[in-house]
Amino acid sequence: MAPLTLNFSFPDTPASADLRLAAIYFEQATPGGPAAVKVLSMGYVGGSGGSGASVNTATLSLYADSLNTVKSNPLCISAFKTGEASGMQSVVVSPDTVKTCNVYFTLFRDRNSNNSPESTEELYLTHDIYSYANSAFTYSFTSPDSRSTESGTRTNGWSLVRHEVLQPTATPDRYVVSMNSVPTADLGIAIRMHVDSDRLTSMGVRGGLK
């Protein structure tokens, strides 16, 4: 089976031999416990670069065999209600037994050459995710500070889930977040990366370079 190739865009970034784009997931032995970062797929970005050279786009491939392994990993897949929605208020999930396992994306400089992103190496990320659900589901919840409400619809199996935040003019101190699976036809639309930000309030964030 041919791999799924995703497109990414990010602010102009100096090209270098250690610039990487990675798809990662987390292994967590106990709810609320420490999570270990695992690399699912990684690509080189920008080659060796040169004086003044910069890059702002990249692609990354995800392979079916690797995705099948991850979705069956008991340290990744967990109940949405006690995993992704942990700590939130007024959580409603249907069906409430659904389990998910998520893949995240990060652009980083692999300064220590260990082929894994570390917090001091990360440049940009995205709140879009590639998510597995063991059944189609819908959900909604409110953030702990009650300033944000999030809702979403996800399909059964793997899907790209796009992140969107709106701030209605009628309620300027409130945010409306959506996380929905996109149709296959939209997989070619570039995933925009940005500096780290609050997923529940960030709107079109751009940022500086490292």
Flag whether the pTM goes above 0.85. yes
Provide the residue type at 68 as one letter.
N
Q: Which of 22-26, 48-52, 74-78, 120-124 has the lowest mean pLDDT?
A: 48-52
| Mean pLDDT, range 104-118, rounded to an integer | 96
Q: Which of 84, 80, 74 is nearest to 95 (CA)?
A: 80
Domain boundaries, the chain: 4-192
User: What pLDDT, in 10s, does the model give residues 34-47?
Assistant: 889 999 999 999 75
Phi-psi region of 116 (alpha: psi -120 to 50; beta: other; left: phi over 0): beta
Q: Give Cβ neighbours of residue 160 (< 8 Å, ≥ 6 apart).
A: 6, 128, 129, 130, 131, 181, 182, 186, 187, 191
User: What pLDDT, in 10s, does the model give residues 150-163?
Assistant: 999 999 999 999 99
